[in-house]
Amino acid sequence: MTIKLEKKSSSSVNESTINSIAEVENANVSKSTALSANSSYQIPVLCYHTIVTTTTGTYQTGLTSFKEQMAYLYSNNYTTLSLEQFRKIINSETTVPSKPILLTFDDCYSDFYSVVYPILKKYGMKATQFVVSNWIGGSGRMTKSQINEIAQNNIDVQNHTDNHSYLTQQTYAQQYAAINNAAVAIKSLTGKSVTALAYPYGAYDNNSLEALAKLSYTMGFTVSSGLCTSSNTKYKLPRICMIDTDTLTTFKRKITNGY
């Protein structure tokens, strides 16, 4: 389950590393390193986990509620984005469509394939699934063939590390391996590049940022509240967690205000 946590690790990072990270995120304001300050957009990025008939935990969404939410987006002309569309927007490479929204789902739950995927197809919606590679094929998780299928049909399959451990409790080498191992496994299933990471538990540190830069990732997602705007750097993109108590009223508030 993903919870809001953006703890900074006490891991030692040398001065050159910090300078490198600063360059990636701040010094160079080109499209390849930071979000353009000239862009004007406010994009809600929603973070779902599992969709169930009856909720028993915080990071679950009831099926009835989820159907209402997707119907609301459809009837109110929201534009669900692919991850590449989202990347182009935050890098000022394309115009912003009407009412943009990015739907993301974590942890490769099997109900994504059996429940969510048909609903998204019904409305012609795009979404992103952040996969923990070591969980693929496990109990209650999607199979390899299911992941490959969704990846070919408007669902971006991206990285949630190989084991969902706290990155902030790992060395740089361990973080790099956790991210890269997952990317290799996912690409072997889908045949598509993996260039975005959702930090497990929303936790990251300077080593995490350095690993993403070294791997040439284009985006890193947290679980901090707020709309995505040009003030967010590309490795600290906010996502709004959807929880069991969300009503349609709170859903509307979240996609409008970011909390």
How many helices and strands in the chain, by DSSP H and E? 9, 10
CB-CB neighbours of 3 under 10 Å: 12
Q: What is the pLDDT of residues 66-109, one digit of tens each?
A: 999 999 999 999 999 999 999 999 999 999 999 999 999 999 99
CB-CB neighbours of 236 under 10 Å: 18
Domain count, the chain: 1
Is there a domain that residue 7 lies in? no
Q: What is the pLDDT of residues 6-62, one digit of tens each?
A: 433 334 444 444 344 444 444 333 333 334 434 589 999 999 999 999 999 999 999
What CATH number corresponds to the domain at position 117? 3.20.20.370
State if pTM tops 0.75.
Answer: yes
Residues of the domain holding 231: 40-257
Is there a domain that residue 153 lies in? yes
Is there a domain that residue 125 lies in? yes
Task: Look at the block and give the residue holding tokens 């209650």.
Answer: 140
